[in-house]
């Protein structure tokens, strides 16, 4: 099913965040459109996090970034963070679980595939692991999501089927960034 991004009417109410992100997301409430914009923060209150990924780190261009990766014939893009202070590890995004493809289209056998282990993102300048992390999520409006998502999408869960995700990281040691390391259409 084609995903069509429509500009957001000013009157639209704020889109709820996907449930798994609620404990992590410090939402920028002054953002006046309906996109979800915010910082990632550990439940202990720390903003300095180690970005984690299952993906392919592209270092051929000036700015390093992540792409989906094929491992044993399956495609993966999985994002998370680990807090160096309290060691909590959190999942931010999994292509087989979240967003339009993961939530609406994924087959159960794909959802339950064993995931490869996380790698740690490092700063491309100083190689430090600790970063500030910011996320944006674009979601269709509720009516369109329900219309295109069939029986799976309801008024209770439509915001889980988001269409686009970005992740920006800024090195906590040398300040390099923000770098958009993920810019991903979820379908």
Given the rule CB under 5 A, which residues bind Zn ion?
A: 42, 44, 46, 83, 85-86, 88, 123, 125-126, 128, 171, 173-174, 176
**Of the two residues 69 and 128, which places its CB atom closer to Zn ion in the complex?**
128
Q: What are phi and psi of 85, to 5 degrees?
A: -75, -50
**Of the two residues 128 and 136, which places its CB atom closer to Zn ion in the complex?**
128
What is the rounded CA–CA span in Å between residue 111 and residue 98? 10
Q: Closest distance between Zn ion and the C-beta of residue 27, in Å?
A: 18
Q: Closest distance between Zn ion and the C-beta of residue 52, in Å?
A: 14
Q: Are 110 and 102 in contact (CB under 8 A)?
A: no
**Of the two residues 128 and 144, which places its CB atom closer to Zn ion in the complex?**
128
Q: Give per-residue burial for 107-135: e unless 16+ CB within 10 Å, then b.
A: eeeeeeeeeeebeebbbbeeebbbbbbbb
**Of the two residues 31 and 43, which places its CB atom closer to Zn ion in the complex?**
43
Q: Closest distance between Zn ion and the C-beta of residue 123, in Å?
A: 3
Q: Closest distance between Zn ion and the C-beta of residue 22, in Å?
A: 16
Which residues, 6+ apart, have CB-to-CB distance to 48 below 8 Å? 83, 84, 85, 130, 131, 132, 172
């Amino acid at each position: 099913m084609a995903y069509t991004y429509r500009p957001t009417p000013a009157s639209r109410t704020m889109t709820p965040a996907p449930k798994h992100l609620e404990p992590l997301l410090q939402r920028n409430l002054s953002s006046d459109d309906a996109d979800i914009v915010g910082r990632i923060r550990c439940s202990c209150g720390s903003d300095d996090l180690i970005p984690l990924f299952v993906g392919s780190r592209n270092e051929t261009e000036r700015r390093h970034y992540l792409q989906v990766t094929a491992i044993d014939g399956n495609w993966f893009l999985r994002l998370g963070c680990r807090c160096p202070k309290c060691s909590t590890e959190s999942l931010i995004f999994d292509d087989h679980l979240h967003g339009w493809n993961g939530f609406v289209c994924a087959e159960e056998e794909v959802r339950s595939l064993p995931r490869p282990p996380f790698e740690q993102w490092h700063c491309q300048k100083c190689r430090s692991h600790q970063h500030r992390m910011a996320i944006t999520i674009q979601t269709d409006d509720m009516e369109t999501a329900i219309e295109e998502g069939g029986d799976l999408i309801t008024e209770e869960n439509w915001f889980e089927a988001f269409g686009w995700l970005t992740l920006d990281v800024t090195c906590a040691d040398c300040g390099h960034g923000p770098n958009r390391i993920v810019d991903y259409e979820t379908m």
